[in-house]
Structure 1
Amino acid sequence: MLRRLSSTLLAASMFAGCGGIETEPSSEQVAPASVESQQAPLLTTTDVDVAPECQGILTFVNTSTYATLDQFLPSNVVTNLVNRRATAPFTSLADLSSVALVGEARLKQIEGGARTRAFIGANCTGIFDDVAISQDDATAIVSLVNTISDSELHDVLPDAWNGAANLLNLRPFTSAPAIANVTGIGGVSFRNIRNAATLSRPFEALAAALTAIPSNGSYGAVMQRHFDWWDVVTANHPYSQGGPTCFGLEPSSVPYGAYIRPNLANAAEVRAEVNSTLAYVNASAKLPAGVISAGLANLDARIAGRTFKGCIFSYADDPWSSHSVAIYVDTVNGFSVMTETWWAE
């Protein structure tokens, strides 16, 4: 992973090769800081590389004059950017990075120019590992990394286990840039962490609301988005009701006594399990319709076309009750859902 450049190096390189000639009308857009500061913060809700609060970075590159860009970038880089945007405006950081000579250092210089010219403000934390995050994103990322379980973090970072181990060893963190700077965390893994922290908030709200439904002591349900699936599956209970049925697990992760189902779970199975859990506690009569519809729409967006590993099992802590648990974990990005229903005599 590329390391962050120090402010000294950035300052030294920021003006290298500057002094280009104005080649277009000076009708660039300027977003005053006072206007930006009045915009309500938004948590990034889709898998994009520019948070809503940071869109000004793209606007800065798309609308600034050659002379303005030349104040922050080498002239040959400005020429490449201006020539490319003449064919189509830039729509993402990946789009910007596809231009010759635009790498991590140039992206930080572009961010600096956008901030200096008030296209972005304090609500945009900045660009880290090729992802522009908002202040709200940064807060969510820090909270997730400081609290996430070992098993979930490794599922979120399936190709960066060294990075996951380093995060676990170095936490707690106080900033998202510090997380991005950890050895083993690069563009893909940092974006995976951002996605895990921000993309499922409506479903998390639904899960929390369902779990908070008061029980009459005879039955109830729990739904979770973040949990340690290994601890849940391997927990000891006085009255075991047989080993779990598991699917898609690595051989080293299969719990003792588990039956291995050959097929992975799909979106339909996950949705059916969530629907069943909602119906079990009559959630439609106890929760706001908007919370349910928003949560299920968010769930559908996160599971569409995906495959899941997991386990399904039952247990009891005494002879007069029973619990049924279903766990699903996306095999690529670690998005996870756990449902648990119970009854007691």
Structure 2
Amino acid sequence: MRRLGSALLAVGMLVGCGPGTQAETPPESAPSAEQQQQAPILTTTNVDVAIECSGILEFANTASYTLLDRYLPSNVVTNIVNRRATAPFTSLADLSSVPLVGPTRLKQLEGGARTMDFIDADCVGILDGIAISRDDQTAIVNLVNTIDDSELHDVLPDAWNGAVNLLNTRPFTTAQQIADTAGIGDVSFRNIRNSATLSRPLEALFTAINAIPSNGSYGATTLRHFDWWNIASANHYYRDQKECFGLEPTSVPYGASIRPNLANAAEVRAEVQRAFDYVGGNTKVSAAVRDAGFANLDALIQGRSFKGCILTYENDPWSRNTVHIYVDTVNGFSVMTETWWAE
């Protein structure tokens, strides 16, 4: 029987069970609507357990001492049972705070949850400290197989060798292969997951903006994933003005001026809003897509700092393009807008 119940189920069911408790298997009551088979769900917040994998926490929170003892050493079970009596586990990090619970014990808990049908194939499992769904895996694999060199290194600022190894080894077919790549650990794998899954409402907004037909004299393009280095370093025939900020000296495009201050959330938000307004987005993009996209953007940029470049170029005297590139200095989240006009 499929189980996808909340990890915060009432603790009173089995939480207090200690040695000798006879409840050895999950109750076979009829599954609720929430527990019915459903398509895998993309993880869209920075959590360490996908919804499809929440049965791992449910198993840790509700299985009897005797059942847990099948999969874990008795001293670990005692620590888990004693801790959950005070509060249910809400994350893998929470579980890992229990003495003697580390990556190996988490995988053993995952194995027990899978055997006892608390999770199924829609939960890929725990990889480098996070439990991902099948939908997460698809997004992660697609991102790593297609992402540009410059963006991947920004997503993995502290895992340069890991990024190089991914670029040299791809294409991948599973998230496990990515997690197993030399130089990829908990922080870097989570950064990859976040880059692949957390900005889908914003990406939908950008797709809607890009679908607005040009009237021949002006238009806009908005991008979430792009090769900022090739864009910023390109040369243009008639006019080529570049201002950059926060870049390493070796990454500054030739001829660019340097702005001393990084960009903040307000600047990034204002520029995306400008591109949206430039093509009449309020009348051409649905309110649902607009509101979800900007809310997603606001959540991702709040309190963050960004490096990047602002480019103005002309290929002839009768047109102009303006490009704004912003890249989070810590996690590599990036957005680009380009607006243009032509006589």
Q: Would you say same fold, with TM above 0.5?
A: yes
Code of the aligned partner of 1:61: A
CA distance in 1, matches of 2:191, 2:150: 15
Cα distance, 1:97 vs. partner? 1.2
* Cα distance change, pair 32–176 in 1 and its aligned pair in 2 (3 A): farther
CA distance in 2, matches of 1:199, 1:74: 36
Alignment coverage as a number of residue pairs: 325
Q: RMSD of the TM alignment (CA)?
A: 1.8
Cα distance, 1:251 vs. partner? 1.3
Partner of 2:71: 72
Cα distance, 1:170 vs. partner? 0.2
Unaligned runs of 5+ in 1: 1-19
1:166-315 equivalences under 5 Å are 166-242=165-241, 244-315=242-313
CA distance in 1, matches of 2:173, 2:252: 35
Cα distance, 1:101 vs. partner? 1.6
CA distance in 2, matches of 1:60, 1:27: 10
SS in structure 1 opposite 2:307? Answer: strand
* Cα distance change, pair 109–26 in 1 and its aligned pair in 2 (3 A): closer
* Cα distance change, pair 275–33 in 1 and its aligned pair in 2 (3 A): same
Which string of whole-angstrom CA distances, capped at 9 and with x for unpartnered residues, describes residues 197-238 of structure 1?
Answer: 000000001111101111121110000000010010011222
* Cα distance change, pair 233–29 in 1 and its aligned pair in 2 (3 A): farther
Is residue 29–residue 64 contact of structure 1 (8 Å, CA) maintained in 2? no
CA distance in 1, matches of 2:87, 2:236: 61
Q: How many percent of aligned residue pairs carry the same amino acid?
A: 69
Code of the aligned partner of 1:118: D
* Cα distance change, pair 90–216 in 1 and its aligned pair in 2 (3 A): same
CA distance in 2, matches of 1:64, 1:280: 57
Partner of 1:325: 323
SS in structure 2 opposite 1:241? Answer: strand
Structure 1 length normalisation: TM-score? 0.90
Which string of whole-angstrom CA distances, capped at 9 and with x for unpartnered residues, describes residues 38-68 of structure 1?
Answer: 2342211111100111111000000000011
Code of the aligned partner of 1:127: I
Which string of whole-angstrom CA distances, capped at 9 and with x for unpartnered residues, describes residues 55-104 of structure 1?
Answer: 11000000000011011111111111111111211111111111122111
CA distance in 2, matches of 1:237, 1:132: 46
Structure 2 length normalisation: TM-score? 0.91
Is residue 28–residue 65 contact of structure 1 (8 Å, CA) maintained in 2? no
Code of the aligned partner of 1:253: S
SS in structure 1 opposite 2:317? Answer: coil
Is residue 77–residue 101 contact of structure 1 (8 Å, CA) maintained in 2? yes
Partner of 1:45: 44
SS in structure 1 opposite 2:113? Answer: helix
Partner of 1:62: 61
* Cα distance change, pair 199–32 in 1 and its aligned pair in 2 (3 A): farther
CA distance in 1, matches of 2:274, 2:29: 49
Code of the aligned partner of 1:101: L
Partner of 2:332: 334
Cα distance, 1:283 vs. partner? 0.8
SS in structure 1 opposite 2:324? Answer: strand
